[in-house]
Amino acid sequence: MIPFFRKIRKKMADDNKPLKYMRYAIGEIVLVVIGILIALQINNWNEARVKKIALKEHLKNMVESLNQDIKNNQGTPKNIDEFRFYSMLYLLDISGHEPNYLTDFEPDKNFVPVEWLWKGKIPKQFDEQFVKVAIRWLEITTERDENYESALEKIKDDRLFSYIEEPALKSTIENHYWKDNFRFGSGEIKRVIKYRNDWVEVLNSAGFNSEFIKDPKEVIEWLENSPEAIAKLRNLASNAKWRCESFDIISEDAKLLIEDLNTYLLENK
């Protein structure tokens, strides 16, 4: 048997077949490698296509989320903070104090709270019932759930953000949600809670219960002679003003982002 194979090997060597075989083998290897590369490219292309389809759905959901945010921002939360803000200006005014940190602010003289908070305009003179209502609402705030997850976070969780092909749009999205978090995120929630707790503490230490004010005149007299209480009240007023402005700023910003998102979706059907 060995001599037989030796004859075959000798014949292949004589005919230069090893070289032909090597060329054939290399050609086969090249074809296999090309096939693998094409398959990988097709797989990557298909994966990118699937990701882009998923991204479009996320962006559509983002538009819906932004519209809901605008609706919420111009609804109950803003109504409450507007009422709290003007109520605090009222309390500061009738107790003889200026809201000295608001030198560049002109209150809306035509402001009217929603009826479920107060019927009619904010009183200009002492009003027992309004003082009770104002004190009751001072410590009530609307806070976003700390577990809130933005539409941007959902896109990033699914690793889809990089598939947005326009750098300007990516920047606009990130800037919007950064501003939203800055104005309504966990840091702001902690600040609101601190100002509220500081006010409740000084109110309780003076012997008052915000839920049941027996004599509103006593509260005003206390405010007239309590720099600490006024300082806490001003902090609350400042925060309420900030929140009212934030509702409008974020809402207008969201409207512009919605326009950009709709344009992008239309151009990338």
Distance CA 237, CA 134 (A): 12
> What is the largest distance, in Å, between two alpha-carbon atoms of the chain?
123
Distance CA 45, CA 41 (A): 6
User: Would you tell me the crossing angle of helices 128-138 and 186-205 to the nearest 10 degrees?
Assistant: 130
Taking alpha carbons only, the member of 71, 79, 78 closest to residue 258 is: 71
pLDDT in tens, 209-223: 988 889 999 999 999
Rounded average pLDDT over 185-208: 91
The average confidence (pLDDT) of the chain is 85
What stretches of the chain show up as alpha helix (H) in DSSP?
A: 2-15, 17-73, 76-94, 128-138, 151-157, 167-184, 186-205, 216-224, 227-267
pLDDT in tens, 56-93: 999 999 999 999 999 988 888 899 999 999 999 999 99
Q: Which of 14-18, 67-71, 97-101, 102-106 has the highest mean pLDDT?
A: 67-71
pLDDT in tens, 242-260: 998 999 999 999 999 999 9
Distance CA 208, CA 253 (A): 41
pLDDT in tens, 135-155: 999 888 777 766 567 889 999
What ranges do the domains of the chain cover? 2-40, 55-267
Per the confidence metrics, is the pTM higher than 0.85?
A: no
CA dihedral 98, 99, 100, 102 (to 10 degrees): -140
Which pLDDT band, with edges at 50, 70 and 90, does 1 fall under?
A: very low
The tokens of 256 are what?
Answer: 């512009």
Cβ-based burial of 222 (10 A; exposed 0-12, middle 13-18, buried ≥19): middle
The pLDDT of residue 2: 42
The pLDDT of residue 254: 96
A 10 A CB-CB count for 245 gives 13
pLDDT of 189 higher than 80: yes
